[in-house]
Chains A and B, each alone.
Chain A
Amino acid sequence: MHAAVVVFPGSNCDRDLAVAFKAAGAKVSMVWHKDSELPQGVDIVGIPGGFSYGDYLRCGAIAANSPICRSVAAHANRGGYVLGICNGFQVLTETGLLPGALLRNAGLKYICKTVGLKVETTASDYTSGYDAGQVINIPIAHHDGNYFADDETIAKLRGEDRVAFSYAENPNGARDDIAGILSENRRVLGMMPHPERAAEAAHGNTDGAALFRALTGALQTA
């Protein structure tokens, strides 16, 4: 599996994400935001956490219109995989690859802590390594993680089994406790929690590693 990790000015989880991909057996290329093309043969693009462009205008809004994001959208539209974590999730909603938007946390505070996440579906190449309904512990670190979408969109996401993760205890006001969602073809995942920060023994928590292992497994046999 060949993973590309996009680096924006202000990204700060890009190297953590690269380490997690590598630990799961992937080859990793770092891609600068001004590049207009992804490297040849990329299976999955990782959009990392951080504060791309200083969160100017809206979180993820400027990144979503950067040169590399046009290639990322084309990759997704060709059926390619894209994983957006935290700021990466915000970027994916801003590009329109995933529905909804991320609002300021309902309590107005930046929240940095480990939370319980319920695995809502195992029917994706990201979540197939977990059991349905399993609660895993993954850190969150965000100020704007309050998922919002209209009633119709929430019903559609639920009806199509596209909610990947939900919060066991809602920390930020997200509608329907939603922490992560999948695209229609289940190959684009956006999530606020950080599985790459819970991916090896030194992190003190390895609950996130199964996501990267499942991905590598699926994409190597594909």
Chain B
Amino acid sequence: MKARVHVMLKNGVLDPQGEAVRHALGALGFDGVNGVRQGKVIELDLAEGTTEADVTAMCEKLLANTVIESYSVELA
């Protein structure tokens, strides 16, 4: 089983990297970009029997810092 975890900075937490990307897009002539938020994707290759609850626990304990980040889990 595979899981894909998306980790993003929470709304309200300033994302200076996303802002820098937005400025760079503007400099390339892409005027229509109102905002950019940058996050990460973590792919997990899991042994049979691993549950979604296990993946959630991994997110809570390590993969995301819930003070500043939110996460979502996609199982495949």
Chain A 72-103 near chain B by CB (<8 Å), digits 1 or 0: 00000000000000000000011000011101
Interface residue count for B (Cβ, 8 Å)?
Answer: 11
Using a CB-CB cutoff of 8 Å, which residues 98-121 of chain A contact chain B?
99-101, 103-108
Interface residues on A, range: 10 to 19
**Contact (A101, B16) CB under 8 Å given A61-B62, A65-B61:** no
Distance A108 CA – B14 CA, assembled complex (angstroms): 12
Q: Are B16 and A105 in contact (CB under 8 A)?
A: yes
Q: Are A101 and B67 in contact (CB under 8 A)?
A: yes
Q: What's the nearest-Cβ distance from chain A to residue B38, in Å?
A: 10
**Contact (A108, B68) CB under 8 Å given A57-B62, A65-B62:** no
Distance A16 CA – B68 CA, assembled complex (angstroms): 31
**Contact (A108, B17) CB under 8 Å given A61-B62, A65-B61:** yes
Q: Which of A57, A65, A101 contacts B68 (CB 8 A)?
A: A101
* Chain A interface SS verdict (over half): loop
- Count of CB-CB pairs between chains A and B under 8 Å: 33
Chain B 55-71 near chain A by CB (<8 Å), digits 1 or 0: 00000011101011000
Chain A residues, Cβ within 8 Å of B61 = 65
Chain A residues, Cβ within 8 Å of B1 = none
Distance A104 CA – B67 CA, assembled complex (angstroms): 14
Distance A17 CA – B13 CA, assembled complex (angstroms): 32
Chain B residues, Cβ within 8 Å of A106 = 14, 16
Q: What's the nearest-Cβ distance from chain A to residue B68, in Å?
A: 5
- A57, A65, A105: which has the most chain B beta carbons within 10 Å? A57
Q: Are B16 and A173 in contact (CB under 8 A)?
A: yes
Distance A97 CA – B62 CA, assembled complex (angstroms): 15
**Contact (A173, B68) CB under 8 Å given A57-B63, A61-B62, A65-B62:** no
Q: Are B16 and A104 in contact (CB under 8 A)?
A: yes
Using a CB–CB cutoff of 8 Å, the interface residues on chain A facing chain B are 57-58, 61, 65, 93-94, 99-101, 103-108, 148-149, 173
**Pairs across A and B, CB under 8 Å, 21 listed:** A57-B62, A61-B65, A65-B61, A65-B62, A93-B67, A99-B67, A100-B67, A101-B65, A101-B67, A103-B14, A103-B16, A105-B16, A106-B14, A106-B16, A108-B17, A108-B20, A148-B13, A148-B67, A148-B68, A149-B67, A173-B14
